[in-house]
Amino acid sequence: MSSSTDVLFEMIDRSSEGFLENIDEHKLGRANSLLSSYIYEKMDKYDVSPRDIVMKTNISQSHVYQIISGKRAAGRDKLISLALALGLSLDETQRLLTLGQCGPLYPKVRRDAAIICCINQHMDMYQTNECLKKIDENEL
């Protein structure tokens, strides 16, 4: 039986040692498999294929397949590129970054603020890179 996040926090807080002894009973997902499931869910929702992702990003085909299958971790910029290729909303992008164990976009950081604007304007990765280049920030 899976547990809600709040319940898990309470259980860990009350008895960290006991929680660790019985960790498998809580059916917790591994980070890569949670990320992979989320990516597949969004690919299905937005009708995007792995090939579409390759064409819409500067990520190699083998790397895309390794990321979406959970066999390879992706850096923050790769996940942002993936989010743009999938056409994710800002909330969905933040979730993707969190599941990928990368920091979410932070509006007080100049580059992140620009990326947030690009996501909100439904720009693709190439348009986002042009925007970043114009403000003298590193491209994805």
Contacts of 59 (CB under 8 A, 6+ apart): 53, 67, 78, 81, 82
The fraction of the chain above a pLDDT of 90, given in percent, is 71
**Domain residue ranges of the chain, discontinuous segments joined by +:** 30-134
Residue 34 confidence (pLDDT): 86
Q: How confident is the model at residue 129 (pLDDT cuts 50, 70, 90)?
A: very high
Per-residue model confidence as pLDDT tens digits over 91-111: 999 999 999 999 999 999 999
Average confidence (pLDDT) over 36-62: 95
pLDDT above 80 (res 5): no
| Structure confidence at residue 18 (pLDDT) | 61
Query: According to the model, what pLDDT value does residue 33 have?
Result: 75
Within 1-140, strands assigned E span: none
pLDDT-based confidence at residue 1 (cuts at 50, 70, 90): very low
Residue 29 makes CB contacts below 8 A (sequence gap 6+) with: 37
* CA separation for the pair 34, 25 (Å, rounded): 17
Residue 6 binned pLDDT confidence (cut-offs 50, 70, 90)? confident
Q: Is the pLDDT of residue 31 over 80?
A: no
